[in-house]
Chains A and B, each alone.
Chain A
Amino acid sequence: MHESSLVMNLLDQVRRLADLERAVHVASIEVEIGPLSGVEPLLIESAFERIAATRGFAGTRLTLLEVPLVAQCPQCDRTFEIVEFRFRCPSGCSANVRVIQGDGCILKRMTLTTDEQEAQV
């Protein structure tokens, strides 16, 4: 299943980064998705619930940040939200627009628990 493959890629990346940070636990993961990410939020969540514990991430919370699909016109520099997947500049420019948000699956942040002592304030 498509979302399963994505979750496995995500957890592989999180594992590598968590090891670099010498984390003992990953408390939470925030992932940004949008209308052109090619994933369905409910299916990602379901795949994560199914897979995370089997990969050493029991107790890790996944938060999905859903963002709109945003593009920029290279001709007039206008930034705008894409509506109904019509990729045209609202100002009528002829150039093809460039998507700048909402077409990827981005690992934004991780909250880690490490062995470090809390800093004394």
Chain B
Amino acid sequence: MATRVVTVERDVLADARASAGEFRAARTAAGTLVVNLCSSPGSGKTALLAATAQHWSGRQRMAVLTGDLATDRDAQRLAPLCDVLQMTTGGACHLEIPLVAKAFARLPRHDLDYLFIENVGNLVCPASHDVGEHLRVVLLSVTEGDDKPGKYPKMFRLAQALVVSKMDLLPYVPFDVEYAVSDARQIQPDLEVLRASAVSGAGIADWCQFLERQRQRLVSGAA
């Protein structure tokens, strides 16, 4: 018997990242912008997606893969507005690419402009998992506390955009938007910041225009 030390130097999640990369490349080739929407539970991800679908009103081909531990409540809310599939994780606190890819295959159509992945409500674990997205967006609602970004550095570091949601409630809560944005940009200086209210509709047009610019950039890059 012999003992040997083998140097590996490989990311533990390398296989998953490779799969996510393949999924992302396939969506790029199809002209589909994949958006991973992350937040704490109750920040307004589903409401934002519903408002997005209503704003576009069929002008953009969008679908949603929504993830929760249990129930299909989010899928039921979105079903009248766009193609949607519920992913139930059973107990897993985050989504991973095998589940996302399997769910995508079951969507009724794949020739999409936008594929939204509504992640499990959790600012911790989803940060570590590439689910094939082009764009990772974090939602932070004004009811959550403006000191949250610094508490979840990995999530904010790896995001490209922050949506401050539930802006209609701002007059009633002690949330300092500029403080929260400044805190988030200490972690990720390149963060695009948007403010929105799915209830009042404020900021939804800007959010949709932001998405359209991102998709245009993707499509131009692939051309």
Contact = CB atoms under 8 A, between A and B. Distances in A.
Interface residues of B, number: 33
A61 interface: no
B101 to A, nearest CB: 16
A106 B2 CA distance: 25
Contacts of B150: 84-85
Given A2-B128, A105-B11, A106-B11, A113 B189 contact: no
Contact of A105 (B3, B9, B13, B96): B13
Contact of A2 (B3, B7, B10, B93): B93
Contacts of B92: 5
Contacts of B4: 21, 23, 111-114, 116
Contacts of B11: 104-107
B25 interface: no
A108 B7 contact: yes
Interface in A9-27: 9-10, 12-13, 17, 21, 23-24, 27
Given A13-B14, A116-B2, A108 B8 contact: yes
Contacts of B13: 6, 9, 105
B188 interface: yes
B10 A96 contact: no
Contact of B93 (A1, A84, A106, A114): A1
Given A111-B6, A115-B1, A118-B2, 6 more contacts: A1-B93, A9-B16, A24-B1, A31-B12, A38-B125, A38-B154
